[in-house]
Chain A
Amino acid sequence: MNVLVFNCGSSSLKYKLLSMPSCLELAGGEAQRVGPPTAKPSCIFHRADGGEKEYQVAMPDHAKAFEEVMKILKDEQGVEVHAIGHRLVHGGTKFKHHTLVDESIWEDLDSTRELAPLHNPPAIDLVRACQERYPDLPAVLVFDTAFHSTIPDYAGTYALPSWVREDMGIRKYGFHGTSHNYVAAEAAKMLGKPMEDLNAVSCHLGSGGASLCAIVKGKSVDNTMGYSPLQGLMMSTRCGDLDSAAVMRLLYQHAGDHQAVEDLLNKKSGVLGMSGSTADIRDVMEKSSAVGISEGVKSERDEKSERDEQREGGATPEMAATLDVYLWRIKKYLGAYLTAVAAAAGKPADAVIFTDTIGETVGLARRVICTGMEVFGLKIDPKRNMNPEKLPADVAEDDSRVRALVIQTNEELAIARQTYAIISGGRDKVSASGGAA
């Protein structure tokens, strides 16, 4: 079965065509500048057979972009599409599982538009366009939030009045679920155990968004993101955890302009807002020394000589502070989730999993985060960690009870697996590690 996976952005459409169940990638690409005309023309960058081609085509909306992609696949490449997997960021409380598209879903689906106003509307419009254009082509909706539908009430409930929680639907939803689910399944494979026996903390550390997920018996029991992707870790442009009084003060200072405050918290804060110059933590790392972080309390002399070192390397106090805050938050949440996982499972976690851009490629981040976690049974091997030969890799010491796994995420593959599992209805079923809803 050839599954075409769509990942819809506000002005882009990423896609991959995978042959299932072999997981072979047949094609992939991205439609850029979808929507109103921009300075440069809209185009599709298409990859197949080891090469890449650019197609300049007018794409006033995602429906048109979808049609053009189908044309390229069918007419240019001569491949068939048998099913579509749509990534949707937010399923709210209505969609706790990945769902086959049929006539009954539309009202509930439209009700999720407001939950992720930048992401859900174009994705939902694309789903509709696909259905209208190819009504016989089965499609599955794969929600980032679905994996977290198992978060128990004690973790997912905010201490707010019942009308806020119930009438406004304010609870912890969690995000990056597709990725957390995927790498957890891969981790289970690496450890030679079934997914339903896996207890782990998954660290999805992207160059944009980032979150940790506590997993017990293969199910999500907590996620650092919450009602929205804003909560939790400090990210590239998001502030993460912040005293609510500060948000109220900002609302007051901006004379009630919600959009301005939202932009400030989501797009102008985080690594960018603290460093003042870059949203990429890797740039900050290059300019800072991370020596000494979490390796016990530094003496004044240590701190002074470290500051001198940093200045010589072009580091500024802002850069150093940004890096410290970024890594410290992850470390604290890791400790919290290792405790939460063990508390629920009755024993320590099997593994800590690192994934996505920073998690997969920045050994320094893994090292700093894991240093000092021996009390939880986690010992990272510095040599393995800095130079993992290939991924997936286990970078923990041999005698570390908790393994430290570095696993490449592949959200498109995860979506394709979910789509295949649902459409094939259990026959030729992908193994449990592929993740069933």
Chain B
Amino acid sequence: MYDILQRKNKVLGDQAVDFAGKLVQQSSMSLGEEKVADLVQAKMEELGYENVFRDEFGNVVGMIIGREDGPTVLLNCHMDTVPVGSEDAWDDNPFSGKVEAGELFGRGASDCKGGLAAQIYAGALLKRCLLPLKGNLIVAATVGEEQGSSVGVRGLMDKTLPEAGFEIDYAILGEPTELGIYYGHDGWMELEVKVEGENMFDVDDAAKAIFSDFKFRASQKHDAAGREDLDAAPPRFELVDGVRSATIGMTRRLNEAEEVIDVLNQVEHDASMAANGAGQVAVKVQVRQEKRQFYTGTQTIVQRVTNAWAIDPYHYLMERTRQSLAAAGCEVRTGKWQLGRLGMGTAGSVLTKEYSIPAIGYGPGNEESSHGANEYVVVEKVKEAIYGTAAIVHSMIGIPVFGWTSDDI
């Protein structure tokens, strides 16, 4: 069976890289993914997916329905990217989508358009190989992951899939793992520490004391891997109806053991202690929220928090992924995302924490260049990701072919 997958992938792989390049060439900031969504929808229809549609949030969904009932596997990648940042830092046009020296270059190549192309073509590969499924495959290209805390995935899970009559049993994210099998990561949250009082000087003093204290903590706070754990922005001051207020923005890493409410309480306590002696002020801490609008026009509130998550490294999904990749002759390596930069994350936290769906990551991109300048993805890894993802999906919902795979038949 793996011979057949590999043989067909020789043709599909080149097409997938070409498609990934086109995706990179189209800019798609969070909640502005419309043109990329057009490309994705057209490609799914061309490749023969069933039930290809776009939901009210702008997510694009395509399905391959099995011939028998069974579990439903979700392949998910986001269509949006982070901003380019300073163009001077880039060696070339960040939207070139060029392939050179075996690498596809451009914003989103690694996170996550290479992975998206691989997942779309993985479903196509299974179809081309005529391998029947006992269960369903849903490929969902979602919006608002980078700067929207996975609002697209929430909409998909809250509304889109239930209305279509599907429940997800397992999820595979195409986020950058360099084809490792990743089973979790730390989280982060953006907080607002609000200081209020009638005496504007008390408020000023308290806010500066709090900021200074947090900046000091930030300079001390790096985890064992040297990743930044905490960052704070200088206070913004306002005067409304005679009441002076200051807001200090903070970004903080969340580890698995931490609950959002406990962190809020702790930060509030620390801020209150830091403000002590600065006069009569009230200190409140909350998760930063912002009003956003999907490119489809639907409005939403984005909570700026991504929870830490991990599944059991010996979970059935992990075991089957390891076994199928080994049988397919792929490298088998497990781990977790490092998330070197605060603010990075995946939809895994939403899927596992909020919907109790076991999720893993398996994608061709690399964390190192994601979100940075000169982002790239290795083209051969995109091709292998198609094959590996197809092997994993088949192990979960393919009708087994044991006994039929000898050369002698």
Contacts and interface: CB of A to CB of B under 8 A. Distances in A.
Interface string B289-331: 0000000000000000000000000001001000000000000
Contacts of A252: 400, 402
Nearest to B319: A256
Contacts of A249: 400, 402
A329 to B, nearest CB: 21
B70 to A, nearest CB: 12
A248 B403 contact: yes
B45 to A, nearest CB: 33
A245 B399 CA distance: 13
Contacts of B402: 245, 248-249, 252
* Interface size band for B: under 10
A248 B400 contact: yes
A243 interface: yes
Nearest to B403: A245
Interface in A235-268: 243-245, 248-249, 252, 255-256
A248 to B, nearest CB: 4
A244 B402 CA distance: 9
Contacts of A243: 403
Contacts of A256: 316, 319
Interface in B379-409: 400, 402-404
A243 B402 CA distance: 10
B353 to A, nearest CB: 24
A228 to B, nearest CB: 20
Interface string A352-379: 0000000000000000000000000000
A236 B381 CA distance: 53
A244 B316 contact: no
A345 B216 CA distance: 92
Contacts of B316: 255-256
Interface string A418-435: 000000000000000000
Q: Describe B's contact surface by its main secondary structure.
A: loop
A243 B316 CA distance: 26
A248 B404 CA distance: 12
Nearest to A252: B400
A193 B316 CA distance: 61
Nearest to A245: B403
Contacts of B403: 243-245, 248
Nearest to B323: A256
Contacts of A245: 402-404
A13 B3 CA distance: 54
B409 to A, nearest CB: 12
A246 to B, nearest CB: 8
A256 B324 CA distance: 13
A252 B397 CA distance: 11
Interface in A194-253: 243-245, 248-249, 252
A36 to B, nearest CB: 30
Interface in B4-54: none
B120 to A, nearest CB: 27
Interface string A271-288: 000000000000000000
Contacts of B319: 256
A76 B353 CA distance: 69
B2 to A, nearest CB: 15
Contacts of A255: 316
Interface string B87-107: 000000000000000000000
A247 to B, nearest CB: 9
B135 to A, nearest CB: 13
B132 to A, nearest CB: 15
A83 B400 CA distance: 55
Contacts of A248: 400, 402-403
Contacts of A244: 403
A252 B404 CA distance: 15
A256 B321 CA distance: 13
Nearest to B316: A255
Nearest to B405: A245
A305 to B, nearest CB: 38
A244 B400 CA distance: 13
A86 to B, nearest CB: 40
A245 B316 CA distance: 21
B33 to A, nearest CB: 38
A252 B135 CA distance: 15
Interface in B176-227: none
Nearest to B404: A245
B207 to A, nearest CB: 56
A249 B404 CA distance: 12
15 contacts: A243-B403, A244-B403, A245-B402, A245-B403, A245-B404, A248-B400, A248-B402, A248-B403, A249-B400, A249-B402, A252-B400, A252-B402, A255-B316, A256-B316, A256-B319
Given A243-B403, A245-B403, 13 more contacts: A244-B403, A245-B402, A245-B404, A248-B400, A248-B402, A248-B403, A249-B400, A249-B402, A252-B400, A252-B402, A255-B316, A256-B316, A256-B319
Q: Which 7 A-B pairs have the closest CB atoms?
A: A245-B403, A248-B402, A245-B402, A252-B400, A249-B400, A249-B402, A255-B316
